[in-house]
Amino acid sequence: MVAHGVLRLVLSLYSDSGPRELSFQNVPSGKPILGGADASTNNIRFNLSHSLGLALIAVSKDREVGVDLEKIRTDRDVTALAARFFGSSRASSDHERKAKHWAFSRIWVAKEAVLKAGGSVLTFPLGHYYIELS
């Protein structure tokens, strides 16, 4: 709830409305956008991610944005998850366990941010996107 309140405050800095006057609507994919006069006059794009008491907000004008924030969890079998969601090229790795979890999380949040920027949700197969993190 706090993250959504801060989002309203941040977006009000980019619009002609106060935080309480902002209205939101969802596009068919479910991604929220500013509605009303703020949407047509400012063309503000935004995205919000929150996890474990942290929040990340991106705001842009005339360009879609996407962000994701996740805790690196070392209790997951990231090799199996990578094979399932990223395709075979990402499934095998000789990195030590901690490095694997960090690399998996980095790829996961990058893919989710790209999908969110495009207005998609995670129902789209993540294996169809390849992201190179150099």
CA distance linking residue 133 with residue 86, whole number of Å = 14
If one compares 73 and 6, the residue with the highest pLDDT of the two is 6
Distance in angstroms between the alpha carbons of the first and the last residue of the chain: 35
In this structure, what token pair is assigned to residue 93? 């790795």
In this structure, what token pair is assigned to residue 22? 């902002």
CA distance linking residue 116 with residue 30, whole number of Å = 10
In this structure, what token pair is assigned to residue 8? 């309203």
CA distance linking residue 100 with residue 81, whole number of Å = 11
With bands split at pLDDT 50, 70 and 90, how would you rate the model's confidence at 92? very low
Sorted by sequence, the CB contacts under 8 Å of residue 8 that are 6+ apart come out as 19, 20, 22
pTM, full prediction = 0.71
pLDDT at 93 over 50: no
pLDDT of residue 7: 96
